[in-house]
Amino acid sequence: MSGDLNHSSTDPIRLNRPGPGDPPGGGQTGDDDGTNFGLSTQTRVRTKKPSLYRVLLLNDDYTPMEFVVYVLEHFFNRSREQATRIMLHVHQKGVGLCGVYTYEVAETKVAQVLDLAKRHEHPLQCVMEKDD
């Protein structure tokens, strides 16, 4: 099978077929009319793991550090210590990793951060990029 993880395959499953001279149904009692044999298929679907995305905070000269710490605690479930460490990294390096999530979760978190920053009139920027 090739590397396509979304590939569906069908494998035949053979049901017991009565042999010559056997009564239909293999000698079982009941309402068997002899049509319980033949070929059936079973479908197996292999799902691909979802792509992951990094959510990043970008530094600016105006957003208060305490606001950035609050964002990291509230939206990214970071402890005060972790949030402070990430905030300082953003301040010193210009960008910092908040977390790695599936596309929908990352998109939601970015929107939440941007919305809160806008409501508080802070220019804080939050972006997402595909994780390699």
CA nearest neighbour of 98 among 67, 127, 60, 65: 127
64 and 117 both lie in a single domain: yes
Residue 67 backbone phi and psi in degrees, to 5: -65, -40
Q: Is residue 88 part of a domain?
A: yes
20 and 68 both lie in a single domain: no
CATH number assigned to the domain comprising residue 103: 3.30.1390.10
**What confidence tens digit (pLDDT) does each residue in 77-94 have?**
999 999 999 999 999 999
Domain residues for the domain of 85 are 52-130
What's the CA angle centered on 88, arms 55 and 52, to 5 degrees?
Answer: 15
**What confidence tens digit (pLDDT) does each residue in 3-58 have?**
445 545 555 555 555 566 666 655 555 555 656 666 767 788 889 999 999 999 99
For the whole model, what pTM was predicted?
0.66
**Separation CA 49–CA 64 (nearest Å):** 38
40 and 56 both lie in a single domain: no
Total structural domains within the chain: 2
